[in-house]
Amino acid sequence: MQEVNNKPVGADSMIDIGMFDPKTLLFYTNSHGFLCLKVGETDHKRVKLARVLPFSEPYRYISVATMESKEIGILKDVADLPEAQAAIVREELEHRYYCPVVTEILSIKEKMGYFYFDVKISEHKKLFAVKDISKSIKMLDEQSIIITDVDGNRYQIRNVWAIDSKSRRRIEPYLY
């Protein structure tokens, strides 16, 4: 790699994605419960996390950004952090990426361009609406489905082949 003034030049400099050295990080929550990060001597008083690969690698490749959405860097693996910090990061990710699991589909009805899903999540009923069904239902692999409602909330069916046959028949026409 060619360097000028100890800095990479050319294509190599364009692929630096800012991976953190986990030994230099200190994640903590402030007195108001907000996530903060100290990187070396720099203290970021409030940060937000985003999963780069949210479904395939939920605890690897975590983007850390300021509240103004300026990326600070990427944490390769939460497991590389000390357990107390890893727990803080996992809790923050679970809160941000809350995705209830649909256990049964009671009905799907169309009305005025919206599709209304009446489902069970655990033992609780939930009704939500989907506008563009072809863009709102995604197969993640051969068995997992993510449904995004009109408010941006996500719902997951972990295994479409394991739910009851009535539920499967109700969702199958919308799986493209």
CB atoms under 10 Å from CB of 137, counted, come to 20
Instruction: Please tell me the distance from the alpha carbon of residue 128 to that of residue 89, in angstroms, as a whole number.
Output: 29
- 171 CA to centre of own chain: 23
Q: Are 157 and 119 in contact (CB under 8 A)?
A: no
pTM above 0.75, yes or no: no
- Joined together, the tokens standing for residue 48 give 């937000």
CB atoms under 10 Å from CB of 62, counted, come to 23
pLDDT digit of tens for each residue in the chain (176 aa)? Answer: 444 444 444 444 444 568 999 999 999 999 999 999 999 999 999 999 999 988 789 999 999 999 999 999 999 999 999 999 999 999 999 998 889 999 999 999 999 999 999 999 988 999 999 999 999 999 988 999 999 999 989 999 999 999 999 999 999 999 87
